[in-house]
Amino acid sequence: MDCRRFRCSTCVRDFNERSSGVLNRTQYPSDVIVLVVLWRLRYRLTLRNLADMFLLRGIVFSHAAIREWKARLAPVLTGELRQRRRGKGNHGRRFWHVDKHT
């Protein structure tokens, strides 16, 4: 697993860095799952193409796993990306900076 494990000294329960997150109980590293979902959303690759691309890199998963990951992670990612795109200090307005070329 790609995340650290901890044990609560009070209740003696085990947990890890993603225990309460969207990617809890996944078999694959979080960075791989996020990359697969980002590529699916950004480049509109097919599920089978994505599975084949990662198979070439030695990471084996099915196209059905990608569908499940996208269902879990896409709402979270799109919300984060929209928030970043809007900016935090400009109240939703976009500023464009244009260089003058002659």
Structural domain contains residue 88: no
Query: Domain total for the chain?
Result: 1
Structural domain contains residue 1: no
User: What pLDDT does residue 15 have?
Assistant: 60
Tens of pLDDT, residues 45-60: 999 999 999 999 999 9
Structural domain contains residue 98: no
Give me the amino acid identity at 74: A
Q: What is this structure's pTM?
A: 0.66
Confidence of residue 1 (pLDDT cuts 50, 70, 90): very low
Positive or negative, the CA dihedral 28, 33, 35, 37 is positive
Domain that holds residue 51: 28-76
Greatest pairwise CA separation for the chain in angstroms? 69
